[in-house]
Amino acid sequence: MEIPVSGFLAALPRQESFADGVPFGLRLPTRPTGSLPVPFDALNGGALAGPEGSHPLALVRLADLVRPATPGLEGTIELAGPARIGEAISGTLRVRARKRIEARGAALRLVGVRIAEQAGSGEARDDGAIGVGGFGTVTPGRPVRVAGAAEPDRPRETVRWVEVHGREIEALAFPDVPLPATLEAGQSVEVPFTIPAPRLGPPTAHAGVAAIAWAVEARWEVAMGADERVAVPVEIRQHPDLLRAGVVRLPAGALFDGVDAEGATLAIRPVPPLAPGAPFTFAVTWPGAPDGRSARVELLVDVRGAANETLTLATLEIDRAALAGTEIALTLPADAPPTMETDGLSVGWRLRAIVDRKLRSDEHRERAFVVA
């Protein structure tokens, strides 16, 4: 038997943003907006915000967050491919100056950012004004109303929304990569490099409600002016050796092929960790499964961040008698986030066999497994 599996991000409910249109249908003096630090600021604004209960981050590719170049430079950073935690990132910087750039210094950097959805709110009125942060309210074409001033009674409503924000978690500079501090207009630079990936992570992860993203950046620090930079996203993958060494806290048996669970044996082939997009087999041996109206097998992922979601990515109805011994083929979503636990974000994967019992609570057996 084979279970069709939905994509991870596609399974998140209410994927909306304020990239188009006016929020809430009101005339607001300012729009809710999300913001991320450079060089992940390419989509700052309405694309990183949405109505209450929505997941605007799920609509965004992490690669699209990175601003490729500032106006004074053209070119790119070409990478040899993804890197694993604790290994090396190799590539070549190729840029050309559009103008003269005189900087205090220039350096190649590896920058990491933690991204999360956050709740925002403000007080809306029937005339479309909104008060944010206690500074009063403004409606275009009307006098400013100061917070606390006497006003006619008007209906008030608290409007809530979601914004995506982030903070830098790592910024590693590599002075051994030679970059000239001064570039003349039209001057080209080509520099091959090899730099270390983060020693302990965290890995790149897009978990819908939160994310970890990395970029390689060449930055020219300009005194009394805007810095010039080029940047490219880099995928940092989890290292299986770190998982096996216990650096990441894992549920019991998550790296085993077979797990005993109260009279049932739940096996995965090949042995975890599994790769996103990889096919695998879930074998259930539960000879003492209780009688019930029906039975099913589920693939679940638990995401814990600023918002929490438990998503069922696949469900297969089976005959209860089949639980005595059956094998089910699945394929992980290509966008499956890795198993991880870091500040502000954890991701865990589970497989479950369930018996639906009439007039009684369901009985189930489950096991955790690792995606890397």
Q: Can you read off the two tokens belonging to residue 357?
A: 């019992």
Q: What is the pLDDT of residue 129?
A: 46
Asked if pLDDT for residue 156 goes beyond 90, the answer is: no
Q: What is the DSSP string of 243-293?
A: HHTTSS---TTTT-SEEEETTEEEEEESPSPBPTT-EEEEEEE-TTPPP-S
- What length is written for the chain? 372
Residue 241: which residues within 8 A CB-CB, separation 6 or more?
A: none
| Cα–Cα distance measured from residue 315 to residue 156, given in angstroms and rounded to the nearest whole number | 44
Question: What is the end-to-end Cα distance of the chain in Å, rounded?
Answer: 25
Name which residue leads in pLDDT, 120 or 100.
100
Q: What is the mean pLDDT of residues 21-32?
A: 61
User: Is the four-CA dihedral 297, 203, 55, 125 of positive or negative sign?
Assistant: positive
Q: What is the pLDDT of residue 141?
A: 41
Q: Confidence class of residue 324 from pLDDT cuts 50, 70 and 90?
A: very high
CB 160 within 8 A of CB 121: yes
CB 22 within 8 A of CB 68: no
Which tens digit of pLDDT belongs to each residue from 47-69? 999 988 999 999 999 999 999 99
Q: What is the mean pLDDT of residues 107-111?
A: 98
DSSP character at residue 28: -
Q: 125 by DSSP, 3-state: which?
A: strand
Task: Give the helix ranges, DSSP H, for 102-225.
Answer: none
* Least confident span in 22-26, 33-37, 100-104, 204-208: 22-26
Report if pTM > 0.85. Answer: yes
User: In the chain, pLDDT over 70 holds for what percent of residues?
Assistant: 88
Q: Confidence class of residue 226 from pLDDT cuts 50, 70 and 90?
A: very high
CB 259 within 8 A of CB 351: no
Instruction: List, in order of start, the domains of the chain with CATH numbers.
Output: 9-237 (no CATH), 243-369 (2.60.40.640)
Q: Confidence class of residue 358 from pLDDT cuts 50, 70 and 90?
A: confident
Q: What is the pLDDT of residue 149?
A: 47
Which tens digit of pLDDT belongs to each residue from 262-310? 999 999 999 999 999 999 999 999 999 999 989 999 999 999 987 899 9
Q: What is the mean pLDDT of residues 22-42?
A: 78
Average pLDDT of the chain to the nearest whole number: 89
Q: Confidence class of residue 159 from pLDDT cuts 50, 70 and 90?
A: confident
Task: Give the helix ranges, DSSP H, for 110-262.
Answer: 240-244
Asked if pLDDT for residue 133 goes beyond 50, the answer is: no
